[in-house]
């Protein structure tokens, strides 16, 4: 006989699952499915953006986000001041940033 047959379960879907686990998984998917899908899409988008910025850094292309950051610089300066005070720093850790 070339092939030997014995009762071996190769895949996880062959394992018996209780009805309680099935009901729990169903309600978990119904309650959190759309939310988790949206989180996965956002994480994939951020990962793509991060890889693009890393690639641009490797190739030597300028970062296009710096031009847009100039518009919101006054708002970031206030947030930076609150951040370094919350971290316990009396003065700004960046010498070139006129904060305090």
Q: Is the pLDDT of residue 6 over 70?
A: no
Tokens of 16: 């018996």
User: H helices within the chain, ranges in order?
Assistant: 19-59, 65-69, 73-86
* Residue-range domain boundaries for the chain: 17-62, 64-100
pLDDT in tens, 73-95: 777 777 877 877 787 777 666 66
The pLDDT assigned to 79 comes to 80
> Are 99 and 80 a contacting pair, CB within 8 Å?
yes
Q: Is the pLDDT of residue 21 over 70?
A: yes
Cα–Cα dist 46/50, whole Å: 6
Q: What pTM did the predictor assign? A: 0.47
Q: Residue 7: pLDDT band by 50, 70, 90 thresholds?
A: low
Q: How much of the chain exceeds pLDDT 90, in percent?
A: 23
pLDDT in tens, 32-41: 999 999 999 9
Q: Is the pLDDT of residue 42 over 80?
A: yes
Q: What angle is formed at CA 26 by the lines to CA 20 and CA 30, rounded to 5 degrees?
A: 145
């Amino acid at each position: 006989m070339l092939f030997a047959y014995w009762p071996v379960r190769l895949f996880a879907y062959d394992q018996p699952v209780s009805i309680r686990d099935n009901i729990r998984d169903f309600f978990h998917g119904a309650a959190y499915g759309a939310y988790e899908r949206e989180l996965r899409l956002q994480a994939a988008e951020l990962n793509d953006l991060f890889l693009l910025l890393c690639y641009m850094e490797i190739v030597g292309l300028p970062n296009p986000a710096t031009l847009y950051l100039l518009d919101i610089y006054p708002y970031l300066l206030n947030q930076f001041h609150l951040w370094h005070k919350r971290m316990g720093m009396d003065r700004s850790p960046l010498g070139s940033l006129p904060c305090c």
